[in-house]
């Protein structure tokens, strides 16, 4: 198939023909599609079973042959998981690599998570990093599909897909508000109001305001978030929804880079947890504006078509201060500052059109979804420096003595930056065939074309690639409450690095295999999953030092990174008063002889993680409950470059314990007291980069919550 022949109009025509010529819809008119299934209502709703991020087939997590975790609104509220970093820190098998105060990477199964969605719409992040933080007050739940999810996301990695599901309008009037105060002058206010405008139209609005200083010297943030959602029933069979999000987060004295991790004699640094390299004049402001529109048309009782559109704009404005070098073990001198002005803007337009429903064949009911999607993206950024006044690269005092008083630079020199455009078009189809009553087969595929052009800091981003990603899975109910499953899929990720001939390297390819069991225990009150996985990425670009020159770096496709391991997750209601969520994950990472980055990934990725959340309602005191949230990870390390002295930075195994107490004062008012990092553990946030900084020490928050 040529690229010219692949157009959205032709694909849409094929989909329409398939729908009109199929007898499926006619056979399914008298069948009600089960859009949401709940197996075992969990106390406190810590884990929600509703999730459609993996297939769009309207099937339950138990019926899906992949590992899926859902972080509910209740868990986010109880433990003040106010941003996506905190949510994913509590998610099985996920590591949060917070390299700076306002930039974070996320990993699962040894690979970067690059697929982030809102209500199932999203595109891969170019580098996988999230700037600023995503506040969670507007989300009903966060769905995490671990492993590759090629049918739903197109380009990506075998890590995971994170889908943030927005709160929806309700036709019954409801309102809530929460005001909290906490350590380091943290003040937060959330207001959430929803209700019907008429019998067929409803709206919801959420407003969040947060201001806070920090345990880090000089760092402070100011966040404002507004969300408006509308839903309308235009006819008996036609529904429309519109969602608007506007978030701004201004950060004063943020970290750009972090602390040096070793001295010139190879010994590890050990600063106070509050130490920061940020200048007192530095700032990093992030503004996001997102619009989502969805039109749903029902066809009979079990088929419907959805057309969805999203427009996303992200802007950054910053003046930053980086510190580099290796300090003297005796004097602390030897570091140099590095000032820069950085501005960024991206725009994304996302389209998705699909049809889904049931059909009957050979005495069984089956599920089918097929559709097309498109995404056009562009971004541009710029950097300026100070090479003329002497203030752009000042010599630094020992960090123990640095109070942010770096000289103010004149950032007008050496303009550089990026201007990149990219386009992704896909067609996909997936079906769940009920072979027998206990056996179902899921099969599908996605064809994707990816094109990009432009320059980024002198490096070409020209790339054109196309891939077909297959998916196959099987689910077998071998007993009333027990299911085994297996799945296989592939991945691809475009890359623009060029070889010695000037041609862009082929996309990074990969595959993901998974085998598992899911069980409903304790009369359906406890849900358990166990999964074994094996994932691979191959063809990763690495510099070809033999053929590169000082003016031109060329690349070659290196041997890949292989990741295998297992994950165990249990969630639900253990007794009438005790609910729990528990997970244990183990990962082994291997790399080819030339994939040095793969060896590094293995070192800074913890092999083992344990995550536990508990909530206990005290039976003798009505309205009183206690909770605990615990995360533990194994030792990690990073081999550092320090001349001829071998240097290894090590973060020992550590655990973080958060506690919460909630008391229902009246029918509508409750009070919550949180203590985070109860044991005051000192730890490095991440060894993802050659620098790092410490996590927050013990801190507190108190909130008053009201609900109509």
Q: What is the DSSP letter of 394?
A: P
Q: Tokens for 253?
A: 């004295």
What the block records as the tokens of 469 is: 């990603």
Burial of 462 (0-12, 13-18, 19+ CB in 10 A): middle
The predicted structure's pLDDT at residue 697 = 97
411: nearest Cα among 395, 426, 433, 389: 389
Class of the CATH domain delimited by 8-707: mainly beta
Instruction: State the pLDDT at residue 4.
Output: 40
Give the model's pLDDT for residue 11: 32
Q: Where are the beta strands (DSSP E) in 130-274?
A: 130-131, 139-146, 160-166, 174-182, 186-198, 201-212, 220-233, 238-252, 259-260
* Separation between Cα atoms, residue 640 and residue 692, nearest integer Å: 12
Ramachandran area for residue 240 (φ above 0: left; ψ -120 to 50: alpha; else beta): beta
Q: 18 in helix, strand or coil? A: helix
Question: For residue 529, which of 238, 144, 164 has the smallest C-alpha distance?
Answer: 144
Both tokens assigned to 445: 């595929």
Asked whether the CA dihedral 361, 362, 365, 368 is positive or negative, the reply is: negative
Nearest 5°: the CA angle 446, 447, 450 is 125
What are the residues facing 628 on neighbouring strands? 614, 659
Q: Are 427 and 353 in contact (CB under 8 A)?
A: no
User: What does DSSP say about strands 654-664 and 94-100: parallel, antiparallel, or unpaired?
Assistant: unpaired
The residue among 527, 557, 529, 525 whose CA lies nearest residue 543 is 557
Q: How far apart are CA 333 and CA 339, in angstroms?
A: 18
Distance CA 118, CA 279 (A): 35
Report the chain (708 residues): mean pLDDT per 10 consecutive residues: 39 34 35 30 47 71 88 86 92 92 91 88 70 87 84 75 93 96 97 96 98 97 97 95 96 95 91 97 96 94 93 95 94 96 94 93 90 92 94 95 95 93 92 93 91 86 87 92 93 80 80 93 89 89 74 77 92 89 93 60 89 94 95 92 76 96 95 96 93 96 95
212 is written with which tokens? Answer: 């806070």
Which helix (DSSP H) or strand (DSSP E) does residue 594 occupy? none
Mapped onto helix, strand or coil, the DSSP state of residue 612 is strand
Sign of CA dihedral 535, 536, 541, 542: positive
Per-residue confidence (pLDDT) for residue 193, from 0 to 100: 98
Contacts of residue 244, Cβ cutoff 8 Å, sequence gap at least 6? 226, 227, 228, 229, 290, 291, 292
Angle, CA of 293, 309 and 107, to the nearest 5°: 110
DSSP string, 305-338: EEEEEEEEEEEEEEEEEEEEE---TTT---EEEE
Q: Where are the alpha helices (DSSP H) in 555-684?
A: 596-604
What is the DSSP code string of 398-460? PGGG--S-PPPP---EEEEEEEEEEEEEEEEEEEEEE-SSSEEEEEEEEEEEEEEEEEETTEE
Task: Write out 506-555 in H/E/C secondary structure.
Answer: CCEEEEEEEEEEEEEECCCCEEEEEEEEEEEEECEEEECCCCCECCECCE
DSSP-derived secondary structure letter, 373:
E
Which residues are bridge partners to 619 per DSSP?
Answer: none
Query: Phi/psi of residue 26, each to 5°?
Result: -65, -40
Q: What share of the chain is helix, strand, coil (3-state, %, to 5)?
A: 5, 55, 35
Q: Give the whole-angstrom CA distance, residue 48 versus residue 70.
A: 6
Write the DSSP assignment of 618-629 as a string of letters: -TTSTTEEEEEE
Pick from 297, 284, 176: nearest CA to 236: 297
Rg, C-alpha atoms of the chain: 26
Cβ neighbourhood burial of 161 (10 Å; 0-12, 13-18, 19+):
buried
**Which backbone phi and psi does 15 adopt, to 5 degrees?**
-65, -40
Q: What is the dihedral of CA 590, 596, 599, 605, to 10 degrees?
A: -120
């Amino acid at each position: 198939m040529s690229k010219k022949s692949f157009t959205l109009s032709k694909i849409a025509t094929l989909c329409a023909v398939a729908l009109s010529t199929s007898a499926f819809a006619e056979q399914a008119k008298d069948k009600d599609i089960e859009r949401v299934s709940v197996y075992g209502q969990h106390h406190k709703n810590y884990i929600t079973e509703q999730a459609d991020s993996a297939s769009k087939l309207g099937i339950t997590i138990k019926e899906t042959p992949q590992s899926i975790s859902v972080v509910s609104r209740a868990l986010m509220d109880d433990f003040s998981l106010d941003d996506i970093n905190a949510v994913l820190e509590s998610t099985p098998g996920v590591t949060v690599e917070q390299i700076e105060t306002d930039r974070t990477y996320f990993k699962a199964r040894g690979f970067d998570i690059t697929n982030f969605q809102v209500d199932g719409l999203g595109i891969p992040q170019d580098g996988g990093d999230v700037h600023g933080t995503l506040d969670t007050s507007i989300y009903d739940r966060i769905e995490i599909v671990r492993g590759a999810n090629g049918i739903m996301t197109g380009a990506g990695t075998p890590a995971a897909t994170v889908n943030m599901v927005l709160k929806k309008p309700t036709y019954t009037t409801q309102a809530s508000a929460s005001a909290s105060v906490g350590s380091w002058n943290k003040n937060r206010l959330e207001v959430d109001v929803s209700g019907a405008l008429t019998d067929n139209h409803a709206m919801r609005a959420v407003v969040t305001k947060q201001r806070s200083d920090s345990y880090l010297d000089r760092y402070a943030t100011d966040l404002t978030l507004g969300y408006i959602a509308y839903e309308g029933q235009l006819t008996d069979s036609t529904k429309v929804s519109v969602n608007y999000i506007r978030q701004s987060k201004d950060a004063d004295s943020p970290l750009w880079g972090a602390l040096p991790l070793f001295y010139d004699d190879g010994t590890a640094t050990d600063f106070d947890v509050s130490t920061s390299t940020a200048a007192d004049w530095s700032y990093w402001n992030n503004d996001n504006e997102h619009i989502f529109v969805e039109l749903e048309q029902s066809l009979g009782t079990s088929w419907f078509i959805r057309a969805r559109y999203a427009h996303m704009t992200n802007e950054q404005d910053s003046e930053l201060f980086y510190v580099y070098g290796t300090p003297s073990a005796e004097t602390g001198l030897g570091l140099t500052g590095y000032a820069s002005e950085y501005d960024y803007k991206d725009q994304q337009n996302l389209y998705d059109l699909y049809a889904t429903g049931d059909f009957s064949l050979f005495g069984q009911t089956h599920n089918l979804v097929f559709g097309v999607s498109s995404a056009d993206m562009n971004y541009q950024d710029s950097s300026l420096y100070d090479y003329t006044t002497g203030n752009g690269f000042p010599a630094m005092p020992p960090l123990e003595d640095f109070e942010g008083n770096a000289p103010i630079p004149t950032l007008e020199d050496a303009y550089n930056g990026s201007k990149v455009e990219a386009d992704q078009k896909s067609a996909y189809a997936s079906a769940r065939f009920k072979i027998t009553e206990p056996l179902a087969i899921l099969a599908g595929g996605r064809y994707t074309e990816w094109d990009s052009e432009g320059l980024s800091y002198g490096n070409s981003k020209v790339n054109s690639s196309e891939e077909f990603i297959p998916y196959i899975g099987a689910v077998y109910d071998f007993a009333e409450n027990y299911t085994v499953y297996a799945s296989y899929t592939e991945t691809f990720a475009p890359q623009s690095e060029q070889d010695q001939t000037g041609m862009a390297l082929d996309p990074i390819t990969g595959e993901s295999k998974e085998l598992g069991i899911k069980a409903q225990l304790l009369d359906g009150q406890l849900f358990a999953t166990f999964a074994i996985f094996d994932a691979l990425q191959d063809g990763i670009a690495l510099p070809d030092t033999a053929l590169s020159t000082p003016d031109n770096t060329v690349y070659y496709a290196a041997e890949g990174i292989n990741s295998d391991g297992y994950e165990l997750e249990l969630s639900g209601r253990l007794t009438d008063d005790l609910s729990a969520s528990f997970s244990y994950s183990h990962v082994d990472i291997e790399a080819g002889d030339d994939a040095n980055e793969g060896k590094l990934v293995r070192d800074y990725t913890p092999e083992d993680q344990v995550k536990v959340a508990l909530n206990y309602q005290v039976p003798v005191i009505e309205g009183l409950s206690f909770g605990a949230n615990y995360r533990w990870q194994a030792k990690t390390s990073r081999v550092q470059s320090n001349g001829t002295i071998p240097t290894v930075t090590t973060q020992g195994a550590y655990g973080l314990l958060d506690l919460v107490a909630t008391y229902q004062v009246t029918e509508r008012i409750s009070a919550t007291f949180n203590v985070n990092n109860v044991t005051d553990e000192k730890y490095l946030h991440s060894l993802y980069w050659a620098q790092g900084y410490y996590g927050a020490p013990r801190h507190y928050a108190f909130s008053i919550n009201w609900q109509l």
